[in-house]
Amino acid sequence: VSTCFGSASTSAFRNAAEIAHVAGKKVALTLSDPFCVERHRDEFLELVKDHVDILFANEAEIRALYKVEDYSTVQPHCELAIVTRSEKGSVVIGRHGALDIPAEPVAKVVDTTGAGDAYAAGFLYGYTQGKPLAECGRIASIVAAEIISHVGARPQSSLSQLLRDKKAA
pLDDT tens-digit map of 46-77: 999 999 999 999 999 999 999 988 877 677 78
pTM for this model (two decimals): 0.90
Would the pLDDT of 28 be above 70? Answer: yes
Question: What pLDDT score was predicted for residue 5?
Answer: 57
- Please state, in angstroms and rounded to a whole number, the distance separating the CA atoms of residues 107 and 161: 19
- Secondary structure percentages of the chain, helix, strand, coil, to 5: 50, 15, 35
The pLDDT confidence band at residue 2, using thresholds 50, 70 and 90, is: very low
C-alpha 3/C-alpha 7 separation (Å) is 13
Contacts with 71 (C-beta within 8 Å, 6 or more apart), sequence order: 59, 62, 63, 83
Please give the helix or strand (H or E) that residue 55 lies within, else none. Answer: strand 54-58
